[in-house]
């Protein structure tokens, strides 16, 4: 990433799901928000933001909103970064859970479903990656808005395991900030997703939550955090 393309600014407003306005050095700019989540605690007027210049003939704006400073924590909000991060980690064999496996396909299709990665080694593994930006009291939560698609993904992975169409399945939650110490599904926001994840885990789908931080504006792996699936399920 070209660091001279990154500018610090202040957030003004979110016009719609993918469009916001910031002010940099006294000049207002519309920016693309590469994240469909609500991010209510982050998309606040006056917040310190970071934008990346990305001009192009097919674009409506010249900038992407890539990070926000919240409670002195720098948070990546680009929902595309977790997939790039995971591809790098898998290709460089930096995750012991997948040692001996190679990425043979990105966005593979299985039984009318599309996932993020297929690995091959002694066994065949499908991986689905989810971007997490919401943290409350040290607990990373996903999703921050209802996600029918997310629930469908995890149910589909569980079904593929049951049908023995694949050997293993993993859902990876990439936490795009360093201040989380545990991960849970956001039952209060989306009980359907929480139930789907709980059921998939019971059926053998592996769950991983990876904590990261921004370094030179790319995600850097810190560690794996524990997962508490049923935290606040019955509240």
Q: Which of 33-37, 103-107, 189-193 has the lowest mean pLDDT?
A: 103-107
Write down all domains in the chain, each with its CATH number in brackets: 3-72 (2.40.50.580), 81-224 (3.40.1350.60)
Dump pLDDT digits (tens) for 46-60.
999 999 998 888 888
Q: Which of 4-13, 82-91, 188-197 has the lowest mean pLDDT?
A: 4-13
Confidence of residue 12 (pLDDT cuts 50, 70, 90): very high
pLDDT at 1: 47
Query: What average pLDDT does this structure show over 224-233?
Result: 90
pLDDT at 106 over 70: yes
pLDDT at 195: 97
Query: What average pLDDT does this structure show over 231-235?
Result: 69
Q: Which residue has the higher pLDDT, 108 or 102?
A: 102
pTM: 0.94
Measured between alpha carbons, how far is 103 from 110 in angstroms, rounded to an integer?
16
Dump pLDDT digits (tens) for 128-145.
999 999 999 999 999 999
pLDDT at 75: 98
Dump pLDDT digits (tens) for 169-207.
999 999 999 999 999 999 999 999 999 999 999 999 999
Report yes or no: 126 and 169 within 8 Å, Cβ to Cβ: yes
Comparing CA positions, the residue from 36, 74, 80 lying closest to residue 54 is 80
Confidence of residue 226 (pLDDT cuts 50, 70, 90): very high
pLDDT at 98 over 90: yes
Query: What average pLDDT does this structure show over 89-107?
Result: 92
pLDDT at 4: 61
Confidence of residue 3 (pLDDT cuts 50, 70, 90): low
Exposed (0-12), middle (13-18) or buried (19+): which is 21, by Cβ within 10 Å?
middle
Comparing CA positions, the residue from 66, 45, 43, 39 lying closest to residue 54 is 66
pLDDT at 108: 75
Q: Quick one: which H or E segment has residue 86?
A: helix 81-91
Measured between alpha carbons, how far is 60 from 32 in angstroms, rounded to an integer?
8
pLDDT at 2 over 60: no
pLDDT at 218 over 50: yes
Measured between alpha carbons, how far is 55 from 132 in angstroms, rounded to an integer?
27
Measured between alpha carbons, how far is 53 from 165 in angstroms, rounded to an integer?
43
Measured between alpha carbons, how far is 86 from 209 in angstroms, rounded to an integer?
12
């Amino acid at each position: 990433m070209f660091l001279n393309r990154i500018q610090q600014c202040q957030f003004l407003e979110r016009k719609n799901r993918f469009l916001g306005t910031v002010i940099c050095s006294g000049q207002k700019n519309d920016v693309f928000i590469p994240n469909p989540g609500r991010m209510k605690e982050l998309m606040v007027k006056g917040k310190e933001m970071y934008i990346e210049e990305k001009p192009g003939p097919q674009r409506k704006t010249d900038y992407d909103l890539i990070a926000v400073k919240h409670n002195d924590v720098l948070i990546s909000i680009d929902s595309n970064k977790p997939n790039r991060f995971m591809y790098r980690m898998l290709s460089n064999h930096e995750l012991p859970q997948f040692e001996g496996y190679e990425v043979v396909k990105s966005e593979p299709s299985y039984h009318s479903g599309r996932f993020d990665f297929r690995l091959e080694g002694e066994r065949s593994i499908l991986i689905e990656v989810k971007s997490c930006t919401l943290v409350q009291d040290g607990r990373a939560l996903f999703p921050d808005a209802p996600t029918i698609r997310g629930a469908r993904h995890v149910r589909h992975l569980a079904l593929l395991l049951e049908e023995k169409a694949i050997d293993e399945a993993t859902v990876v939650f990439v936490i795009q900030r360093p201040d989380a110490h545990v991960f849970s599904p956001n039952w209060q926001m989306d009980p359907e997703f929480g139930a789907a994840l709980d059921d998939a885990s019971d059926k053998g789908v592996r769950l991983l939550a990876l904590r990261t931080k921004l370094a030179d504006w790319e995600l850097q792996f810190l560690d794996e955090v524990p997962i508490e699936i049923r935290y606040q399920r019955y509240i």
